[in-house]
Amino acid sequence: MEIITGGVTAAKGFWAAGVEAGIKYQNRKDMAMVYSKTPCRAAGVFTTNVVKAAPVLWDKEVVESEWEAQAIVVNSGIANACTGKLGYEYCRETAGAAADALEISPQSVLICSTGVIGMQLPMEKMTEGVRMLAKAIKPGEEVGTDAAKAIMTTDTRNKQVAVKVTIGGKEVTIGGMCKGSGMIHPNMCTMLAFVTTDVNISKKLLQEALSADVQDTFNMVSVDGDTSTNDTLLVLANGQAGNHEITEKGADYDTFVEALHYVNETLAKKIAGDGEGATALFEVKVIHADNKEDAKTLAKSVITSSLTKAALFGHDANWGRILCALGYSGAKFDPEAIELYLESSAGKILIFKDGMAADYSEEEATRILSCSEVTALVDMKMGEAEATAWGCDLTYDYVKINADYRS
Amino acid sequence: MEIITGGVTAAKGFWAAGVEAGIKYQNRKDMAMVYSKTPCRAAGVFTTNVVKAAPVLWDKEVVESEWEAQAIVVNSGIANACTGKLGYEYCRETAGAAADALEISPQSVLICSTGVIGMQLPMEKMTEGVRMLAKAIKPGEEVGTDAAKAIMTTDTRNKQVAVKVTIGGKEVTIGGMCKGSGMIHPNMCTMLAFVTTDVNISKKLLQEALSADVQDTFNMVSVDGDTSTNDTLLVLANGQAGNHEITEKGADYDTFVEALHYVNETLAKKIAGDGEGATALFEVKVIHADNKEDAKTLAKSVITSSLTKAALFGHDANWGRILCALGYSGAKFDPEAIELYLESSAGKILIFKDGMAADYSEEEATRILSCSEVTALVDMKMGEAEATAWGCDLTYDYVKINADYRS
């Protein structure tokens, strides 16, 4: 697997654009389009929130149908959630406008929105934005970055990744972009993420690969424990790599899954590290757990603990809070048996063993916790299962951003 | 039921004291004792965290045995959690010192600690503190307040309550004190709470009344979603009211339970309103839910949402976050059917109906959200079940307090 530059436009036949449509933000790109010159097999995973945004309902229909998808239209600023029947009608209108401009069918247009809940979209601006996007789309990294910037809300940086693998003698590319920041605690997938690939694969296997992989990637990320109404992860595969179609599991499928996993995990970590107000990426690795489910539960419990997150912000090795979060996770274990390490580019130290503090230096612990990526390694000493979760620290800026997000 | 002044010393025969033992804090009271002149039936509920502090293990043994309890010793500053076998030994030593000084049995001494996890207690100071407490205990509101102050950590005010009822022609008093602040998401009971009563009731019914009532009171409170290692709620009943012993359910039991509920709910709300860094008490009432479990799940999901809590701090009527938190709670409902109101001493308005924003004034919403106690009322329009949960806003001060709690 080769890691390359580029995002959603890295794979063959994928074009993109980002434009200023003035939906809610001023003086920045706020609408994006991803377009494949040929129809794609589409797979998707969506929020499990009972309150689903209108575009989530629209996209589920498209992805679960036999239709092939060819375009994704995204706006930032307004989430089109809690907007009633009118909100859904606006999705249909947006898809219709894109279909007209691109000369494709409305059922092949996927729609995503992110931003404030409860406001209606300004439809004139939306349809004008779609028209601008249809004119602006082209191949290349530059427009991929435009699109990645246009979907941001409180994100501080755009998030892209791409890799190349060889499948059936053909070069296959997978690229992706996503946005995260706040209201991030995906329960099927994260806020908005888009993966494009030129692989030739059956729709059934594409969905299966995606559904399985999100469990270990996007679903292991949390910024604030709030599962959004808009979480959407879409994968488009247009088959232009020319490999023999992957229709069953085997070496080709495994190669694709491995590359997809790298793309998903990289995007997921980018979301965690750029959580609202975050100054550090916080990784929690649980090893030697009794079973996979417990390993995931334990890891997620620690990355969602407000107290642990605030201590990380303060570079304070308050490991008792990590123990506490493991303890209330719901998983059973013997606190006397486990070991806890803290690790970063500044070093690695044993913090807790035999039910009490290990003999470590506070100074060294603070040095380790002052890095921009910090890992807590928990050895459960029980079995062979492991899991990793990603979060971030809890900061003044998280409160500031969210105390008055709408204005 | 008559609401009276006083806390743990309100009921007949209960004495208390608070002293400066210098455990970790300087120049403030940090050890408390509650003492009954005669042996008491004791009931208790404790943290469900797998990682249990040493005093929790000690107290569970006492409460679950046939022993009658007569004293509670509490220290603040150090939690005696994650302290291994030595931590438990220190509980035994503390109980022994109290037993010697009070001339009672060590098995009738309950021990509670709150503060930093992972540090060992300075035992010389602890035993000296116990001796000072045994000399200082006496009846009266003043020493009750001393005790309530001594158990505080980051609490900004002491928390007490007392009520009088008539049972079997006799005046029965129930009083209590508690401390809360951070790491508050009780799952059986909250951080530390102590209720004293002179009622005459069987140990079995006392425990039954307590275990049932915490489900609707302390277990419905959350400051930060972190279930502590030390959560303990103890009730001592010394029977000095002289009522005929309550040994079965009936009118007397109901009167006692109603009074106990008032005491527990009042203490629980005091903990929520004085959560770390909090500027407001946030109450979420869910009515007309399909069943009680769903009602509780929905209410707790909203009060633990970081985004909702931050919006409350900003007096921002970002109701979409409340809808979102209801939606990811796990309870099933139809978002198009429910109604959401915001209410405080400044008024009450309908915010959300028919799946979208109601026609309300943002100015009025902000006015309502600017009060020190705010209620979100959610009408699920499904059945007859209801539940109330209590939390607080998420503020800069929460982050400040917890970024460097140990220093």
Among B51, B318, B406, the residue with its CB nearest the CB of A324 is B51
Residues of B labelled catalytic: 190
Do A56 and A108 have their domain in common? yes
Of A226, A244, A273, the position where a domain reaches its end is A273
Do B320 and B269 have their domain in common? no
Do B240 and B301 have their domain in common? no
Which residues does chain A have within 8 Å of residue B118's beta carbon, measured at their own beta carbons? 319-320, 323, 352, 356-357
Residue in B80, B324, B397 to test binding to A, most A beta-carbons within 10 Å = B324
Q: Is A276 flagged in the annotation as binding?
A: yes
pLDDT surpassing 70 at residue B129:
yes
ipTM field: 0.76
Count of CB pairs separated by less than 8 Å, A with B? 222
Residue in B402, B404, B405, B407 to test binding to A, most A beta-carbons within 10 Å = B402
Q: What pLDDT sits at residue A186?
A: 52
Do B228 and B305 have their domain in common? no
The Cα A407–Cα A66 span in angstroms is: 42
* pLDDT tens figures, A64-102: 998 899 999 999 999 898 888 999 999 999 999 999 999
Q: Is A36 flagged in the annotation as binding?
A: no
Which residues does chain B have within 8 Å of residue A394's beta carbon, measured at their own beta carbons? 399, 402
Which residues does chain A have within 8 Å of residue B338's beta carbon, measured at their own beta carbons? none
Do A268 and A287 have their domain in common? no
Which residues does chain A have within 8 Å of residue B52's beta carbon, measured at their own beta carbons? 327
Contact B307 A396 (CB under 8 A): no
Contact B327 A50 (CB under 8 A): yes
Q: How far is B323 from chain A (nearest CA, A)?
A: 7
Q: What pLDDT sits at residue A189?
A: 39
Among A85, A182, A324, the residue with its CB nearest the CB of B226 is A324
Number of domains in chain A: 2
Do B361 and B263 have their domain in common? no
* pLDDT tens figures, B20-29: 999 999 999 9
What's the rounded mean pLDDT across residues B148-176?
Answer: 90
Of B217, B249, B273, the position where a domain reaches its end is B273
* pLDDT tens figures, B173-182: 999 888 887 6
Q: Is B318 flagged in the annotation as binding?
A: no
Q: How far is B205 from chain A (nearest CA, A)?
A: 28
Among B84, B116, B395, the residue with its CB nearest the CB of A399 is B395
The Cα A229–Cα A210 span in angstroms is: 20
Q: How far is B5 from chain A (nearest CA, A)?
A: 35
Q: What pLDDT sits at residue A153?
A: 85
Among B311, B318, B323, the residue with its CB nearest the CB of A51 is B323
Q: How far is B199 from chain A (nearest CA, A)?
A: 34
Do B251 and B129 have their domain in common? yes
Q: For residue B225, what pLDDT band results from cuts at 50, 70 and 90? A: low
Of B257, B273, B289, the position where a domain reaches its end is B273
Do B98 and B120 have their domain in common? yes
Q: How far is B238 from chain A (nearest CA, A)?
A: 34
Helix (H) or strand (E) holding B330: none
Among A316, A318, A399, the residue with its CB nearest the CB of B313 is A399
Q: Is A20 flagged in the annotation as binding?
A: no
Do A350 and A304 have their domain in common? yes
Which residues does chain B have within 8 Å of residue A189's beta carbon, measured at their own beta carbons? none
C-alpha distances in angstroms, A27 versus A16, A121, A227? 20, 18, 29
Which residues does chain B have within 8 Å of residue A224's beta carbon, measured at their own beta carbons? 306-307
Residue in A24, A315, A392, A402 to test binding to B, most B beta-carbons within 10 Å = A402
Do B307 and B257 have their domain in common? no
What's the rounded mean pLDDT across residues B138-151?
Answer: 95
> Hey, is B161 helix, strand or coil?
strand
CA terminus-to-terminus distance, chain A: 45
Do B377 and B397 have their domain in common? yes
Q: For residue B190, what pLDDT band results from cuts at 50, 70 and 90? A: very low
Q: For residue B188, what pLDDT band results from cuts at 50, 70 and 90? A: very low
Q: For residue B185, what pLDDT band results from cuts at 50, 70 and 90? A: low
Q: Is B300 flagged in the annotation as binding?
A: no
| Minimum CA–CA partner of B311 in chain A | A403
CATH of the domain at A315: 3.10.20.340
Contact B50 A326 (CB under 8 A): yes
b/e sequence A91-123, b meaning 16+ C-beta within 10 Å: bebbbebbbebbebebbbbbbbbbbbbbbebbe
Q: What pLDDT sits at residue A406?
A: 55
Q: For chain B, give the percent of residues with pLDDT over 70.
A: 95
Contact B307 A85 (CB under 8 A): no
Among B226, B332, B355, the residue with its CB nearest the CB of A325 is B226
Contact A306 B227 (CB under 8 A): no
Q: What pLDDT sits at residue B189?
A: 39
Q: How far is A47 from chain B (nearest CA, A)?
A: 9
More confidently predicted of B356 and A227 = B356
| Minimum CA–CA partner of B366 in chain A | A404
**Residues of chain A with confidence (pLDDT) below 50:** 187-190
Do B298 and B247 have their domain in common? no
CATH of the domain at A93: 3.60.70.12
What's the rounded mean pLDDT across residues B212-220?
Answer: 85
| Angle at CA of residue B184, ends B352 and A406, nearest 5° | 35
| Minimum CA–CA partner of A310 in chain B | B403
Residues of A labelled catalytic: 190
Q: How far is B120 from chain A (nearest CA, A)?
A: 9
Give the residue numbers spanning the domain of A220: 2-273
Q: Is B49 flagged in the annotation as binding?
A: no
Among A313, A323, A403, the residue with its CB nearest the CB of B314 is A403
Contact B316 A399 (CB under 8 A): no
Contact B227 A328 (CB under 8 A): yes
pLDDT surpassing 60 at residue B159:
yes
The Cα A385–Cα B300 span in angstroms is: 31
